[in-house]
Amino acid sequence: MSLSIMVHLDTRRAEISDRYSVISFPYYELTQMRLCVIIKQSFLSKIDTGGKDGHPSASLFIAVAEHLNFSEAARSLFVAQPAISQQIAYLEKKLGVKLFIRSKHSVELTLVGTLFLKDAREIVQRLEESVENVRLAEEGRIGTIRIGLLSVSVRSFLPLVVRSFRKKYPNIHIHFAFYNVGEINKKLERDEIDLAFTLSHGLGSMKGIAYQKLWAQPYCAILPHDHRLAASTSLRLEQLSTEPFVMLDRSQSPQGYDHILTLCAKHGFSPDIVSHASRIDAVMLMVDAGIGITVQSKHVQMYATPSLRLIDLEGDGYEADVVAC
């Protein structure tokens, strides 16, 4: 016999505050909780979880089985003996088996009753545990936080944040996963992650998603080391107008892709895109191989090899907000 308990914590808010000069979320707020209790065994579905006088039938059965006396079982539970007798008879009828052999002077467990006693104890224990888990979940003290990460520079503060959070909530599990911007937006919309550190591209048009700016992430030109402009300390975007571009597939980050095209258009040109890739590390590989150059947010620097050059762009408007949402 088994009782399957699934507690799904559905979070849409986390308070972001400034603590120890870093961004933190020590006051995690649970705003919604869905509790789904599934009893998978058909045999279990025949057992009443709420008998008369507020005692589950399984608990009444255990009391009689342990005392082997209906009167003593009734006294231990502070209920009337007829109530226990009626509940046991009702349970036996629903199960279609005899749990006890009764005589005027004794009560004994049948073989089926002996086997069922172990299962009944497990049922009651699981029910008690589920009640405690629901209480803790409602208080925000157990559960799982699913965090989606873009490869932005969260390493400077996130470990400290998590360490502080876990000291206060040791029973809340934290799961990290890296995604691109488009994937994070989709997972936020589908409620598949609870918190994200990402770029702000597209978030403004997504209903029900609140976010807070952490810092501005500059865009840069990324060139191979032997490019004619590789020694520059900064570049104007229009200096790249005749260069072949390699880009991340638009499907991976539609808003980010369109943002780069918009930047180019504002400076009087449409980039000559010679190749696309489905992963940003592949884009960087193509730049390194001399296939083309690219313009990206500086969060991609973690993918850069020593032979690549990340060069700042001159002027205003070459930034994207890094946000928590």
Question: Per-residue pLDDT tens for 43-82?
Answer: 333 344 444 444 557 788 888 888 999 889 888 888 888 8
Tokens of 292: 């083309």
Best-predicted range by mean pLDDT (2-16, 130-144, 226-240): 226-240
Q: What is the mean pLDDT of residues 246-250?
A: 94
User: Would you state the pLDDT for residue 51?
Assistant: 46
> pLDDT tens-digit profile of 260-307?
999 999 999 999 999 999 988 899 999 999 999 999 988 888 888 999
User: Would you state the pLDDT for residue 36?
Assistant: 24
- The answer to pTM > 0.75 is no
Q: Which residues contact 170 (CB under 8 A, 6 or more apart)?
A: none
User: Would you state the pLDDT for residue 203?
Assistant: 79
Confidence of residue 191 (pLDDT cuts 50, 70, 90): confident
User: Would you state the pLDDT for residue 131?
Assistant: 64
Please give, one letter per residue, the 3-state secondary structure of the chain.
Answer: CCCEEEEEEECCCCCCEEECCEEECCCCCCCEEEEEEECCCCCHHHCCCCCHHHCCHHHHHHHHHHHCCHHHHHHHHCCCHHHHHHHHHHHHHHHCCCCEEECCCCEEECHHHHHHHHHHHHHHHHHHHHHHHHHHHHCCCCEEEEEEECCCCHHHCHHHHHHHHHHHCCCEEEEEEECCHHHHHHHHHCCCCCEEEEECCCHHHCCCCCCEEEEEEEEEEEEECCCCCCCCCEECHHHHCCCEEEEECHHHCHHHHHHHHHHHHHCCCCCEEEEEECCHHHHHHHHHCCCCEEEEEHHHHHHCCCCEEEEEECCCCCEEEEEEC
User: Would you state the pLDDT for residue 41?
Assistant: 32
CB atoms within 10 A of CB 99: 21
pLDDT at 315 over 70: yes
Q: What is the mean pLDDT of residues 213-228?
A: 91
